[in-house]
Amino acid sequence: MDFKIFSNWMKFKWVDRFSSLAVAFALALMAWLYGSNRDQEIIENVTVPVVVSLNSLQQDNFVLDVVSNMKVHVSFSGSPLKIRELRRSLEHDECVSKIEYSVTEDRLGEHKFGDNVVITESDIPVPKGVRARLVDGKNKIPVTVYRLGEKLIPVRLESGMEGSAFSQVVIEPSSVLVKGPIEILERTKTMPTHFTSIPFSPMAFQNNVLQSVRVAVVEELEGKPVRVLPAKVLVRSIPEPKKIYELSDVSIRFLCPSNFAFKPRFTDERSAKLDIKIQGPVLNDLPKILAYIDLTARPGTPGLNVESVKLQLPREFLLLEEFARERTIELIPLEAAKKTTVPLGTTP
């Protein structure tokens, strides 16, 4: 056989064999793809929760405001075995897209700005062999970024205390260090406490007894969380200077009803006056008190009567020592009183 003819025959044989192998491989691949496609399962339009957090290295300088309950719509495809695994993950709320957001260098100096976090298919946690598909244009999460700062802000007590009692308390410390969004801190003038009914006793104020209670400061401004140091302040009463007054020869008056038919008088001059000791705020002048016998409570009876002296003290004054309140007086009918001399004691 001619060598050239033999060479051509061998070449044709190898080409034929290679072509046969290539065709066989292509047919096998097509068969696998066909079988694989027939073995695919699809889940359409599933909502997947999205959690956006700030880069841990930037959390001391910024805070994110993200709309709560954010979700994206995702479709999944994969083998039945892998799809069953995905379904279990969805049922147990384990399929959550967790995104870490970082403030770019060109925005580090801004106090507040808005941005969008784009969710990609690679951000959806799925078992290997499952593909996630997102809808373009509906995979963006809006966020607002606030730059953090610190400010020393005076504390404002929110309580049920009113009037002069409020002026008799002090807050320690009077200001707290607040860390939060700079733009909110700049317009905040005072830091309120939680509303608290201060359990201070008015009698303790009068007796100059020290009272104190700890009250929590709010940890939110304009709906945004802030950090407050210290978290609680001490509210305590201020000891008010007191003075003891000894008043002598205080005249006792009569309180009579209109058209009273009697002329009251004391049986002796000493019964018409009293000596008392009281305590109260420091005044430049002696406190004005009123001592009286009330004759309006019952009909008058002519002759001698035993009545009790009543005392009206100025506000925030206390009687330190009790005195003999009972006094013997005489009620004289008006017609008879015109014929007698001026009675002892103070007339109405």
pLDDT, one tens digit per residue, over 30-84 is 655 555 555 678 888 888 999 999 999 999 999 998 877 788 999 999 888 888 8
Judge whether 171 and 238 are in contact, CB under 8 Å: no
H or E segment to which residue 83 belongs: helix 80-91
CA 25 from chain centre, in angstroms, equals 73
> What whole-number distance in Å separates Cα of residue 252 and Cα of residue 291?
5
Q: Torsion angle of alpha carbons 25, 28, 30, 32, nearest 10°? A: -140
- What's the confidence (pLDDT) of residue 135? 80
Per-residue pLDDT reduced to its tens digit, 5-30: 545 555 555 555 666 666 666 666 66
* 41-147 topology per CATH: RNA Polymerase Alpha Subunit; Chain A, domain 2 (2.170.120)
Name the segment(s) of the chain with CATH classification 2.170.120.30: 41-147, 242-337
Residue 329 in 3-state DSSP? Answer: strand
pLDDT of residue 12: 53
Q: Are 329 and 257 in contact (CB under 8 A)?
A: no
Q: Report residues of the chain scoring pLDDT below 50.
A: 1, 3, 6, 164, 341-348
| pTM > 0.85 | no
Check whether domain 242-337 has CATH 3.40.50.10490, yes or no: no
What was the pLDDT predicted at 166?
54
A 10 A CB-CB count for 73 gives 14
